[in-house]
Chains A and B, each alone.
Chain A
Amino acid sequence: EADIYQTPRYLVIGTGKKITLECSQTMGHDKMYWYQQDPGMELHLIHYSYGVNSTEKGDLSSESTVSRIRTEHFPLTLESARPSHTSQYLCASSERTPSTDTQYFGPGTRLTVL
């Protein structure tokens, strides 16, 4: 059982608000990821980190930002939420292994921007 947590699970907010989606893992994993999942189920990698103070943008351009100050914590921030940000956000982590890279996923945050 993977120990990766996301809060909140559901969030409904108005346009223009600043929000932070929390993601924490207790497995000591170096690598962490944020995905945006559209209603058609497809996953889009928006940010990833391979360690403290390391962050990279993913395949899908996103107006969100991330930080990695502690190994276990990888929050995602939207400075000014818009309806186009409405989506499911999934956080994942993996350990640095020499050959494979099994990712463990949190339960997700479903964000609705009105």
Chain B
Amino acid sequence: GNSVTQMEGPVTLSEEAFLTINCTYTATGYPSLFWYVQYPGEGLQLLLKATKADDKGSNKGFEATYRKETTSFHLEKGSVQVSDSAVYFCALKRSGNTPLVFGKGTRLSVIA
């Protein structure tokens, strides 16, 4: 079946540190891949997405590259800020009328 595995948190970093949150997936065909972010007390927001192999999604200094050969979509940011503290969800979507499949989420805390 389709599934998403992301690194367990919590992840705690100092401000300006480099961030990587690993995400790998299992899916038939060629899914679209997403990163969503959930700030405290809010719903999820789309952070970035990629729809085909080798695509790079980017937004707000975050980026992730769709790697078909390693079935991965790791999230990276070169210099995190305190305001990046949130829960990050990796997700996949197969084509057609199928729902998103989410990973379990990774909590990031950035300390000043």
Partners in one complex: yes
Q: A106-B43, A108-B43 are in contact. Are A45 and B49 (CB under 8 A)?
A: no
A-to-B contact residues, CB < 8 Å:
6, 33, 40-43, 45, 48, 50, 58, 90, 92, 99-108
**What interface size band does chain B fall in?**
20 to 34
Decide if B44 touches A40 in the complex (CB within 8 Å).
no
Chain B, 1-48, CB within 8 A of any chain A CB: 32, 34, 36, 38, 41-46
A-B contact count (CB 8 A): 49
Binary contact track B68-105/A, C-beta < 8 Å → 1, others 0: 00000000000000000001010001010101101011
Known A-B contacts A42-B105, A43-B89; A102 and B99 likewise in contact (beta carbons under 8 Å): no
A58→B45 contact, CB < 8 A: no
Nearest 5 pairs of A and B residues by beta carbon:
A105-B43, A41-B105, A105-B44, A42-B104, A101-B93
B87 engages A41 (CB within 8 Å): yes
